[in-house]
């Protein structure tokens, strides 16, 4: 079974703090994603990566950056957290056509910025 | 721009009462349409992928169908454990990184 692991399930951070959300997948997938999920807005794509050190902006990249130094690990960085970044963050990965293009999700990280 | 609209937003059924969830989409060249189930506080769990109009897939009490404009998730004789939010997403052809565009979901409640 594909496993996407998000290291932090619940975090509380202060406004202005730098926040790191870590994600690891164990299936040697090329593509990894970060989404955020908010009531009434659904899942929105923040950033994705299709290879090590490669990244592309999604629909809502403002206020976020990402890092992919190793194939299995994709990090989301909030340089200076703000209260409007309080949300559930979901990491996902896919192997592309070799896995039917199916995207698998982690359990989510609940971030509260106070 | 790819768009996905799910209806209804919420659906309440009695155990055993069959129904359908709708997912309407517009996409520039469909590569795949995906259905996920999401329980409260958890990440989406993959259910089905449909690739072309006329395709159908089944899993236990769930059956997904696809036309050129919409997909249906049919739930036959649902049980309380089927209660969850069901998400529909599309993947466009030629999209780098296999990204998905999601609908807002249908929250299903099945009462015993």
Helix (H, G, I), strand (E, B) or coil at A61: coil
- Which residues does A101 contact at the CB level (< 8 Å), separation at least 6? A94, B31, B32, B49, B91, B98
How would you write the pLDDT of chain B (112 residues) with one tens digit per residue?
889 999 999 999 999 999 999 999 998 888 899 999 999 989 999 999 999 999 999 999 999 999 999 999 999 999 999 999 999 999 887 655 578 899 999 999 999 9
- Cα dihedral A55, A61, A62, A65, rounded to 10, equals -40
Disruptive mutation site among B35, B43, B59 for chain A (greatest number of A CBs within 10 Å): B43
Please judge whether A45 and B99 are an interchain contact, meaning their C-beta atoms are less than 8 angstroms apart.
Answer: yes
Nearest to B44 among A31, A96, A105 (CB): A105
pLDDT for res B80: 97
Beta-bridged to residue B65, according to DSSP, are: B56, B72
- The C-alpha atoms of residue A81 and residue A79 are separated, in whole angstroms, by 6
Which of A4, A8, A25, A37 should one mutate to test binding to chain B, selecting the residue with the greatest count of B CBs within 10 A? A37
């Amino acid at each position: 079974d594909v496993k996407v692991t998000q290291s932090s399930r619940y975090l509380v951070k202060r406004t202005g703090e730098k926040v790191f959300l870590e994600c690891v997948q164990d299936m040697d997938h090329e593509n990894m994603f970060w989404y955020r999920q908010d009531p009434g807005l659904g899942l929105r794509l923040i950033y994705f990566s299709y290879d090590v050190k490669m990244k592309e902006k999604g629909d809502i990249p403002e206020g976020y950056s990402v890092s992919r130094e190793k194939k299995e690990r994709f990090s989301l960085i909030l340089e200076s957290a703000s209260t409007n970044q309080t949300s559930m963050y979901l990491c996902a990965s896919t192997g592309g056509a070799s896995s039917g293009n199916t995207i698998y999700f982690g359990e989510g990280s609940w971030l509260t910025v106070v | 721009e790819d768009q996905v609209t799910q209806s209804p937003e919420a659906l309440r059924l009695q155990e055993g009462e069959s129904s359908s969830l709708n997912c309407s989409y517009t996409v520039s060249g469909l590569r795949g349409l995906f259905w996920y189930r999401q329980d409260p506080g958890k990440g989406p769990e993959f259910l089905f992928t449909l690739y072309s109009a006329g395709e159908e897939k089944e899993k236990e009490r769930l059956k997904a169908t696809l036309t050129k404009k919409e997909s249906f998730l049919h739930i036959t004789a649902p049980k309380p454990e089927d209660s969850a939010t069901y998400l529909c997403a599309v993947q466009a052809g030629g999209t780098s990184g296999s990204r998905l565009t999601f609908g807002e979901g249908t929250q299903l409640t099945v009462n015993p």
